[in-house]
Amino acid sequence: MLRVGLTGGIGSGKSTVAKALSALGAVVVDADAVAREVVEPGMPALSAIRERFGDAVFDPEGALDRPALGRVVFTDPSALADLEGITHPAIWKRTAELMNAVPANAVVVHDMPLIVEKDMGADYHLVIVVGTDEEERLARLVRERGMTPEDAQSRIDAQADDEARRAAADIWLDNNGSLERLDAEVRRIWAERLEPFNENLIHGIRARRPDALAVSEPRAEWAADGLRLVARIKRALGERAVTVDHIGSTAVPGMLAKDVIDVQIGVRALSDADAPDFVEALSRMGFPRIEGEASDNGKDGTRWPKRFHGSADPGRVAHLHVREVDSPGHRWALDFRDWLRSDEAARREYSDLKQELASRGLTTSQYAEAKEPWFDSVHDRVSSHSPG
Q: Which residues are annotated as a binding site for ATP?
A: 11-16
Residues 6+ apart with CB under 8 A from 122: 228, 231, 232, 234, 235
Long-range own/partner contacts, residues 151-157 (CB < 8 A, 24 or more apart):
151/70, 151/71, 152/10, 152/11, 154/74, 154/75, 155/10, 155/70, 155/74, 156/9, 156/10, 156/11
Binding site: residue ranges? 11-16
In the beta sheet, which residues pair with residue 363?
212
Distance, CA of 33 to chain centre: 24
| Rounded Cα distance, 286 and 311, in Å | 6
Nearest to 322 by CA among 263, 260, 247: 263
Angular region, 62: left φ>0, alpha ψ -120 to 50, beta rest:
left
**Total Cβ atoms within 10 A of residue 93:** 11
Kindly give the pairing relationship between strand 126-131 and strand 2-8. parallel
Residue 182 vs residues 71, 172, 262, 306: alpha-carbon distances, Å? 31, 12, 32, 44
CA distance 30 to 9: 15
To the nearest 10°, report the CA torsion of 229, 231, 234, 237. Answer: -60
- The answer to whether 218 touches 253, Cβ cutoff 8 Å, is yes
Angle at 57 between CA 53 and CA 59, to 5 degrees: 145
Residue 181, Cβ neighbours under 10 Å: how many? 12
H or E stretch including 349? helix 344-358
Q: Is 361 helix (H, G, I), strand (E, B) or coil?
A: coil
What are the DSSP calls for 280-327, one per residue?
A: HHHHHTT--B--S-EEEE-TTSSEEEEEEEE---TTS-EEEEEEETTS
